[in-house]
């Protein structure tokens, strides 16, 4: 196989209410990976419109998410930050992949089933085809590593299935055109650490989510110290003190969630957190947790608020990032056209 360059790609939807789950499960890890990889971080606005978005709000959310990336520590000079709709190759490659993927594969996607619910006849075609676009996002850059939260695991498996089927279906052409045995890499998901699935503060069995009706279910990146303190104070717990070891967390989803959040905030394991707080009452633990969360999120929220004011700067980051991204994606698209047998200039 021709040597494939290691590259990180990930995307976040600009749908507002960025929360602690997005930060600990994804964006914090994006920041860490910058030291070891060339990274591309994408504001996936084409994914957002699989459900209705008010246009003015969408514009605001694209800029706010870009500000969040930068405020959290992503460096848009050394790495690439852009919004998806500025690089047409995403949608173009997604079409090819929707002809590679099988209905049966997409029918198994649990996120689609959850989002569509009982209203299957009335959701957009885009919501169903969404994983093909996600595969195109990643494979337009032939990315080898994708950091995401646990909820995206199935979509990454599908991305590998699409890459593999494309490589197999066109194996002879791929070889004849000098790409070796395979054109697309089988991308590795990067899902690890204590906060790959941060749960709602109101219900330890439900994921923390942008769309939860209760703002008390999540800590937003823009919450101030008072809001963070209030939300942790009200967070659901059980009546027992914290256990001393991890095994005992298993039947206690709310305790497990708060311990995981604390661990991720201070870069410790859950076991290390329990070694410190085992036997403590939740009231004391919640105070410590609030202090850590405020220390981490306070400066991020403040910087986000400052950056979103400067729309000229934000838009310039996105345009510049898109120009650099397009160069890579255009090369891939040319190769894909040749592999498929399309005639081109």
* Beta carbons within 8 Å of 9's beta carbon, 6+ residues apart: 39, 40, 41, 42, 137, 138, 141, 143, 145, 146
* Binding to ligand TRP in span 136-175, by CB under 6 A: 137-138, 146, 148, 152, 155
Alpha carbon distance 175, 228 (integer Å): 56
Annotated catalytic residue within 207, 231, 270, 296: 207
Q: Please, which residue, 73 or 189, has the CB nearer to ligand TRP?
A: 189
Give the shortest CB-148-to-ligand TRP separation in angstroms.
Answer: 5
Alpha carbon distance 208, 198 (integer Å): 6
Q: Are 160 and 152 in contact (CB under 8 A)?
A: no
194 forms part of the interface with ligand AMP (CB under 6 A):
no
Catalytic-residue membership of 210: yes
Among 28, 63, 90, 207, the residue binding ligand AMP under the rule CB under 6 A is 207
- The widest CA-to-CA distance across the chain, in whole angstroms, is 70
Cα dihedral sign, 266-270-273-275:
negative
> Which residue, judged by CB position, is nearest to ligand AMP in the bound state?
25
Among 70, 129, 148, 174, the residue binding ligand AMP under the rule CB under 6 A is 148
Alpha carbon distance 289, 261 (integer Å): 8
Tokens of 115: 């989002």
Alpha carbon distance 252, 234 (integer Å): 17
Q: Please, which residue, 21 or 243, has the CB nearer to ligand TRP?
A: 21
Q: Please, which residue, 18 or 294, has the CB nearer to ligand AMP?
A: 18
The DSSP output letter for 315 is: H
* Binding to ligand AMP in span 23-52, by CB under 6 A: 25-26
Beta partners for residue 11, in sequence order: 42
Annotated catalytic residue within 153, 165, 210, 334: 210
Among 173, 197, 252, 337, the residue binding ligand AMP under the rule CB under 6 A is 197
Catalytic-residue membership of 206: no
DSSP string, 240-257: SPPPSSGGGGTT-HHHHH
Binding mask 35-74 for ligand TRP (x = CB under 6 A): ---------x--x---------------------------
134 forms part of the interface with ligand TRP (CB under 6 A):
yes
* Binding to ligand AMP in span 51-90, by CB under 6 A: none
Question: How far from 304 is each of 26, 220, 309, CA to CA, in Å?
Answer: 17, 12, 9
Among 12, 80, 242, 307, the residue binding ligand AMP under the rule CB under 6 A is 12
Catalytic-residue membership of 236: no
Which stretches of the chain bind ligand AMP, using CB under 6 A?
12-13, 21-22, 25-26, 148-149, 151-152, 196-198, 207-208, 210
Which stretches of the chain bind ligand TRP, using CB under 6 A?
9-11, 13, 44, 47, 134, 137-138, 146, 148, 152, 155
């Amino acid at each position: 196989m021709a040597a494939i360059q290691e590259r990180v790609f990930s995307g976040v939807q600009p749908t507002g209410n960025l929360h602690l789950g997005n930060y600990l499960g994804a964006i914090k890890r994006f920041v860490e990976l910058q030291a070891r990889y060339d990274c591309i971080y994408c504001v996936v606005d084409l994914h957002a419109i699989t459900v209705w978005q008010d246009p003015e709000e969408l514009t605001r959310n694209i800029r706010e998410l870009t500000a969040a990336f930068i405020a959290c520590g992503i460096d848009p000079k050394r790495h690439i930050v852009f919004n998806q709709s500025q690089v047409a190759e995403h949608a173009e490659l997604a079409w090819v992949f929707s002809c590679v993927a099988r209905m049966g594969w997409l029918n198994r996607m649990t996120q689609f089933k959850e989002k569509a619910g009982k209203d299957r006849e009335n959701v957009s075609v885009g919501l169903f085809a969404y994983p093909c676009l996600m595969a195109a996002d990643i494979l337009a850059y032939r990315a080898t590593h994708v950091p995401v939260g646990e909820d995206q695991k199935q979509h990454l498996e599908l991305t590998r299935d699409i890459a593999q089927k494309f490589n197999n279906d066109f194996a002879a052409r791929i070889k004849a055109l000098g790409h070796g045995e395979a054109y697309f890499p089988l991308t590795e998901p990067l899902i690890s650490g204590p906060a790959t699935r941060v749960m709602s503060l109101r219900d330890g069995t439900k994921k923390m989510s942008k769309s939860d009706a209760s703002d008390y279910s999540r800590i937003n990146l823009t919450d101030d110290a008072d809001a963070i303190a209030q939300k942790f104070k009200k967070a659901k717990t059980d009546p027992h003190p914290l256990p001393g070891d991890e095994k005992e967390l298993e039947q206690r989803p709310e305790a497990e969630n708060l311990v995981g959040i604390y661990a991720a905030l201070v870069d410790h394991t859950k076991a290390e957190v329990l070694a410190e707080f085992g036997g403590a009452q939740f009231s004391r633990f919640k105070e410590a947790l609030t202090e850590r969360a405020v220390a981490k999120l306070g400066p991020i929220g403040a910087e986000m608020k400052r950056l979103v004011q400067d729309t000229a700067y934000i838009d310039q980051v996105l345009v510049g990032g898109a120009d650099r991204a397009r160069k890579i994606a255009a090369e891939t698209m040319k190769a894909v056209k040749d592999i498929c047998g399309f005639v081109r200039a």
